[in-house]
Amino acid sequence: MPFPLRLLSRRAFVTSALGVAGSIATRGHAWATQPPAFARWVANFRPRALKRGISEQTYDRVMGAVTPDTSVYAENSAQPEFTELMWQYINRRCSGWRVMTGKERAKEYAGLLSRIEKDYGVDRYILLGLWGMESSYGDVVINKKYMRPIIPALAALAWGEPRRRAYWEAELLNALTIVDRGWAQPSDMIGSWAGAMGHTQWMPEVWLNMGVDYDHDGRASPFGKPDDSLAGTAHYLVERGNYRRGEAWGCEVTMPAGRPKLADNRTMRSYAKWQDLGVHRADGAAFSRPSDQVKLWLPVAGGPAFLVGQNFRAVYSYNPSSSYALALCHLGDLIRGGQPFRQQFPGGERAPTFDEVKEIQRRLNEQGFKTDGIDGRTGSDTIKAILAYQKKTGIDPVDGYAGLKLLARLRQGS
């Protein structure tokens, strides 16, 4: 298949809000059930949608029936209950379950991943890492427990959330455009409280502008088979992240003693030049592409150091967090068969195994802290159970981390 692949791209006459509301109400829509202030906002927002090219029929049908999901305000305003150190963040995302399942998906979708690699040049293990990070390989698509209809959520944010209002309004218009084009029904569009959907958690804007109909069924979709999601995400990394075919994201390295200022996370040099300065791969292997340009990054003093290049930056563009990008790239390497980091983060510990996480869950349940299953995965219910256990038993810090120290404490308690 040649690149690019069937990319799917984008495509004032009301004088009174009362007049608009009245005219729509007479068409049998459910505006009467909406909060009055929201109904007025929907009426006032209508010209924006029509100017964007959304049909009157689509707007009236969808927005006339929407009740705002105001529970998103708490989600948007909530402060984290705990702070994750980088090593905890990485261990959580690079869990035994994610690595094991990622290897299974690598085999199951080998043909698809090979085609995407050929068409876009994006390493299959980067895509597997991203798929695992964003949706646990599609689990959140299947498990509706974590999802909600996104149009009521975006409508509530566009109406009543002053922070980033223009952003929420734009994403609501994008979602309505998707419906207007017939790519999805409102009931099909479920996702996070902020509107991210599907295998690789597309926002509506990404669906509209980066979506790829890779399975040739006439529409791009983040749901169902992972074909469109993975191909569209590869397209995103190339077009918006400037992903470079054939380059590695980077690697863990050892630094020469007494030269910490080399790791300024800014100066670009070739791998060969870094080697001349005493920087070597932590696993002792040779740099496979010595002329590629990279920078030296030391995320935490005393922890592992990395040479990172443009493809690390491409991953960062998908979610602008250095911890996210490093965890995703590391997860991909572990799925490939790589090893944990040679240098441990200060105060860190190795990630618990799949069986150790199951033991943590079992012991929590035995002591009355419910994890909603014993499956070897540290999901939100397990984290809540750990937080409750830590608070009750006086463990400091209260960090919700399912680690080896917690397991030792649980064993003592039994």
What is the 3-class SS of 85-120, one letter each residue? Answer: CHHHHHHHHCCHHHHHHHHHHHHHCHHHHHHHHHHH
- Among 325, 351, 377, the domain-final residue is 351
Same domain, 148 and 179: yes
pLDDT of residue 33: 73
- Give the mean pLDDT of the chain: 90
Q: What does the alpha-carbon distance between residue 344 and residue 340 come to, in Å, rounded to a whole number?
A: 9
Same domain, 393 and 322: no
pTM above threshold 0.85: yes
| 103-108 contact pairs (CB < 8 A, 24+) | 103/335, 105/131, 105/132, 105/137, 106/335
Same domain, 226 and 254: no
- Chain centre to alpha carbon of residue 61: 31
Same domain, 226 and 270: no
Residue 192 pLDDT greater than 50, yes or no = yes
Same domain, 83 and 35: yes
Same domain, 76 and 189: yes
pLDDT of residue 19: 32
- Among 336, 369, 384, the domain-final residue is 336
Burial class (CB in 10 A: 0-12, 13-18, 19+), 75: middle
Residue 322 pLDDT greater than 60, yes or no = yes
Which residue stretches of 181-286 are H helix?
204-210, 227-239, 271-276
pLDDT of residue 25: 34
Residue 4 domain-assigned?
yes
Task: Summarize the confidence of residues 237-244 as an average pLDDT.
Answer: 98
Q: Which residues pair with 212 in a beta bridge?
A: 7
Same domain, 237 and 263: no
Q: What share of the chain has pLDDT > 90, as a percent?
A: 84
Residue 24 pLDDT greater than 90, yes or no = no
**Least confidently predicted of 13-22, 182-191, 256-265, 274-283:** 13-22
Residue 341 domain-assigned?
no
The pLDDT-based confidence of 13 (bands split at 50, 70, 90) is very low
Give the domain range for residue 276.
Answer: 250-336
Same domain, 174 and 197: yes
CB within 8 Å of 336: residues ≥ 6 apart = 125
Q: Count of CB atoms within 10 A of residue 328's CB? A: 29
Any idea which residue has 């996104």 for tokens? 150
